[in-house]
Structure 1
Amino acid sequence: MADSIDDQFREFVRTRSPALLRTAFLLTGDRHLAEDLVQDALAKTHRGRRRLADPGHFEAYTRTAMYHQQVSWWRRRRVAESLPGELADVAQPGSDHAHRTDLKLALHQALAQLTQRQRAVLVIRFFEDRSEAEAAQLLQCSVGTVKSQTSKALARLRQLAPELLATVMEEA
């Protein structure tokens, strides 16, 4: 049975790591921190893999560990975030791929200017499509905190990147 669980865990890591890394990047705003976050969460899941009766629980356990670790990081240290500078605009007008890339860059740049808590709330609520109650449970805070942080984060995003809202309205 031990080999079976280990094989299932290896398969989980192989197939789900890219999705976990995307979520971690949205939470942290930094590729290296995201990799550290995923690695720490997978290590915790590996240690608890025998307690998880169904291998299908690996992902839920790992994601919860990621959220808790991120909350722990932002409570423990306050690191001032800075943008490395403006990126050159090399996109060709009228190109759909270029337009999507511009939107992704604008979104990442705007998310990087939010607080870690606000970023985490937006990622959990909208990227992970979780309810307010689920987000509060994952972040170990009240539902009211989730609501207020969501409101503040969305207002800040509207201020930082109004082009995102205009694009969403055009596509709707």
Structure 2
Amino acid sequence: MKVAAVTFDEYVRTRGPALVRLAWLIAGDRHLGEDLVQEVLARAYPRWKRIVAGGSPDMYLRRMLVNSHVSWRRKRSSTEVADGGDRVESAGDTDLQARAAERDAMWRLINRLPPKQRITIVLRFYEDLDDASIAEILDCSPATVRTHTMRALTTLRVLHPDPAKETLQ
């Protein structure tokens, strides 16, 4: 699909689920992620022709999502914290249960990271973006992206040590 010919409806139909997933991962809560995407798409619709003319609607909307999330965190008046209520439930398969429990535990740790570090981890490892793309979205330098990533991974390693390494020592 040629970028210049993409209508707003086509874009939302094809890329909407990926935007919701990204917002969910950034926000740490499915419902807040859906709200963020709805807000961003409502703001993007009136200027859609200009967004597409810029040549990279994905990058533009990702940046809008990140900025909306940061603004929401700044404006938040309550101390409500998402508990990761969207867990995978399985019956009978202990391997699947163990993986789901591990994934849930990791997301709880990722949600404890500062917002810029969490956003950097999500964009790097779930959206598979490079430093330059993440820097463009976060409006910072690639070196800052690498610093956020390094600090986040260091924190995650401290909070969740590798059991395989512990048995070898």
Q: Considering the TM-score relative to the shorter chain, is it more than 0.5?
A: yes
- TM-score band (shorter)? 0.7 to 0.9
Residue 145 of structure 2 is matched in structure 1 by 146
Q: Percent identity?
A: 39
- Between the aligned partners of 1:68 and 1:83, the Cα distance in structure 2 is 19
TM-score with structure 2 setting the length:
0.73
Quote the offset at 1:146 in angstroms. Answer: 1.5
Residue 37 of structure 2 is matched in structure 1 by 38
- Between the aligned partners of 2:142 and 2:36, the Cα distance in structure 1 is 24
Quote the offset at 1:29 in angstroms. Answer: 0.8
- Matched length: 158
Please tell me whether the aligned partners of residues 81 and 113 of structure 1 are also in contact (alpha carbons under 8 angstroms): no
Please tell me whether the aligned partners of residues 19 and 37 of structure 2 are also in contact (alpha carbons under 8 angstroms): yes
Stretches of structure 2 lacking an aligned partner (at least 5 in a row) = 165-169
**Counterpart AA for 2:141:** S
RMSD: 3.4
Query: Which residues in structure 2 correspond to 1:1-172 (within 5 Å)?
Result: 8-53=7-52, 57-74=56-73, 82=81, 84=83, 95-162=94-161, 165-166=162-163
- Between the aligned partners of 1:152 and 1:143, the Cα distance in structure 2 is 14
**Counterpart AA for 1:102:** A
Please tell me whether the aligned partners of residues 121 and 135 of structure 1 are also in contact (alpha carbons under 8 angstroms): yes
Q: Secondary structure at the match of 2:129?
A: coil
- Between the aligned partners of 2:45 and 2:160, the Cα distance in structure 1 is 40
TM-score with structure 1 setting the length:
0.72
Deviations 1:13-49 (Å, cap 9, x if unpaired)? 2333222111101111122321121112212321222
Quote the offset at 1:84 in angstroms. Answer: 4.6
